[in-house]
Structure formats: structure tokens, C-alpha cells
Amino acid sequence: MSESMLSYVLLIAVTLILGFGTQAYIKHTYKKWSKVPISSGLTGAQAARKMLDENGLAHVVIEPIAGELTDHYNPKTNVVSLSEGVYDNKSVAATAIACHECGHAVQHARGFVPARLRGALVPAVNFAGTAWLFVFIGGLFLQMIGLIYAAIALYAATIIFQIVTLPVEFDASGRALAYVRNYGFLPAAETGGARSVLTSAALTYVAAALISIIQLVYLLARARR
């Protein structure tokens, strides 16, 4: 096996290990704590409503959404969407995830700088994420190193977006944990469970950024050759 082929195989192996490993970990942690009832007796939607109201965000709407772990906050519509296993679930995992998404709503309302920066980057990243591969293939086909480096620059822009996303996600989790702790939602044991759920979710963003950085290094090495 040639050196280039070996490096490519190693890249694929690392990518698969990081990707599937983190996904398996978050699903395991989520399922574990979704079976642990929350002592407050609140559903995910009710916990989210209380956190939003406590932060003066009564105008933010909470809606159910299909799927598993599809929870998200849309700053354009001011809607917190909670998945089927979170919206009506009275578990530690449901409360943790619901309050995490509310943390994003609080960020938006408070003008959290990294969140604003991530929002501003979205249009450019959407373009770069689609265009870089076509530019890269064009550079290979035409044997133009300039196009190849342009493609790598576009790909690097998507990595910057992923890196900016990290403090946004960590901060939202921090806000969620602070809320459930300060308002007595969860005793110590349940707070530890909520932290485990949110930590496992954060690892998926860390893994995605690491995978992209590894791929970027590989692309640069190949371009230099």
C-alpha cells in the first residue's frame, strides 16, 4: 500500500471512530437519563417554559418537533423546538436538553457575541460548504493549484464556523445547568445526570471540529505534493 493510500485509510478510520463513537456515546447517555424521572415532575416543555419566563422571554414559543435529538432554537422565529422524547417527557435528560435550547434563546436575547458571530457567518458558510468540493474537483481536473487552494480556503471557512459554534454550545449548557441548579429543579444526583447529557452532546461538536481539522490538514498535505 502506498503512503498516500495509507494516509487516506487512516483519515477514514479516524473520522469513522470519532463520528460513530461520539454519536454512540450521546445516544447511550441520552437513553440512560431519559429513563430517570425528574423530581420536579415537569415535562421538558414545562421546564423550558419556566426558564424562558424567568428570563423575560414569554414571547418565545415552544413547539414539538418530530424525531430524536432534533431539538433546536430558531432565532429568526423565536421558536424553541423540542423533540418527541423531550417535549412531553418528565426525565432528567428532557429537562437538560430543553433548558439547553432555552439557553440559546437567552443568548439571542442578551446579544451573546459568539452567537451573533455564528449567525452572521451562516450565509457565507452555507455557500462555502457547498462550493468547496466543486472548486476542488475543478482544480484537480484542470490541474490548477490555485483552484485547489481556493477550495481549501472555502473548506477552512466551514471549520471556523464549527470552532465559533463551540463556545455557543458550551455557554448554552452552562446557562441550562445554572438555571436548574439555582432554581432547585434538580437535586445533586440529577444535576450530575443533566451535566452528563449536555457534556455528551457537546462532544459531538468537538468531534466534528476535530474531524474537519484533520481533513483540512490532509487536504493541505495533498495539495503541497
pLDDT tens digits, one per residue of 109-133: 999 999 999 999 999 999 999 999 9
Count of the separate structural domains present in the chain: 1
Give the range of the structural domain holding residue 136, as residue numbers without chain letter: 3-224
Asked if residue 222 has pLDDT above 90, the reply is: no
Beta bridge partner(s), residue 72:
81
Evaluate the CA torsion angle 20, 24, 25, 26 in order and state its sign.
positive
Work out the pLDDT band at 185, boundaries 50, 70, 90. low
Measured between alpha carbons, how far is residue 138 from residues 38, 146, 147, 157 in Å?
55, 10, 7, 19
- Are the C-beta atoms of residues 48 and 63 closer than 8 Å to each other? no
Listed in sequence order, the residues at least 6 apart from 66 whose beta carbon sits closer than 8 Å to its beta carbon are 83, 84
CA distance 138 to 95: 48
Predicted model pTM: 0.89
Residue 1 is predicted with a pLDDT of: 53
101 classed as catalytic: yes
Residue 51 is predicted with a pLDDT of: 95
Among 54, 84, 101, 169, which one carries the catalytic annotation?
101
Work out the pLDDT band at 22, boundaries 50, 70, 90. confident
Residue 188 is predicted with a pLDDT of: 77
Unique residue bearing C-alpha cell 423565536: 78
Asked if residue 3 has pLDDT above 80, the reply is: no
